[in-house]
Amino acid sequence: MIKFSKAGKMPCRSWSLQALETCKGAFDLNGEVVKACQGCYALKGNYRFSNVKKSRAHNLQDCKREDWVEDMVIELDNDRYFRWFDSGDIPDIRLAKKILEVMKRTPYCNHWLPTRTYKFEAFRKILEEMNALPNVVVRYSSDSTDGEKKVYDRRGKEIKAKYTSSILKEYIESKGNHLCPSSKQEGKCLRCRACWSKDIENVNYLLH
């Protein structure tokens, strides 16, 4: 059974895993948590409740089923917007390929997937396939907390990214960036769908 979540600000459902323990890209070569992931929001508040943690743990095992893709496609039949991972990230290549298949088979649904798995070449190939689909935006999450939208692999080599997201400690207007309006809208997206838009290269989020 697939367990979905719906964060208070979001206009849609999400499928998630436990933060950090599934986030390969959240750690540098020394095993330290990167700056942007320190104090992760998905380790605070409601995310700490045992029932929330259980659903994330359930999803990690449930997605290994052979018929998981088929069930996801059926579940998304009426969804027009969907977010992957309001907590956690893609833990392995097998799941990445399954998510790609779900995206291909649900062209009527707009998918947004934020990730740091781009730091690994094997993942990047699949993420690029996802981004080539007209209904998908995969945003490479920057490790910076000062609005820097450039992204790098674990060895510090810059990676060319089509869509990115970054974190700001305070709102600063800058060219080519969309400022997430949720902090000015009681923490809600309301009419904004920038994260899903292929017309917007980078989205800046205010530091939680």
pLDDT digits (tens, 9 = 90+) for 122-143: 999 999 999 999 999 999 999 9
Q: Is residue 132 part of a domain?
A: yes
Would you state the pLDDT for residue 101? 98
- Secondary structure class of 59 (helix, strand, coil): helix
State the alpha helices, DSSP H only, in 63-186: 68-75, 93-105, 121-131
User: Domain for residue 119, yes or no?
Assistant: yes
- How confident is the model at residue 151, as a pLDDT? 97
In this structure, is residue 6 part of a structural domain?
Answer: no
State the total domains in the chain: 1
* pLDDT number for residue 174: 64
Check residue 30 and give its pLDDT.
93
Ranges under pLDDT 70 in the chain: 171-176, 208
pLDDT for 107 equals 98
Determine, yes or no, domain membership for 164.
yes
Answer whether residue 92 is part of any domain.
yes
Query: CB atoms < 10 A from the CB of 91, how many?
Result: 17
For residue 61, being part of any structural domain is answered with yes
Predicted model pTM = 0.93
Please name the residues in contact with 154: beta carbons below 8 A apart, sequence gap of 6 or more: 25, 28, 29, 119, 120
Query: Within a domain: residue 7?
Result: no
pLDDT at 173: 63
Whole-number pLDDT of residue 45: 78
Asked whether residue 4 is domain-assigned, the answer is no
Containing structural domain, residue 19: 13-206
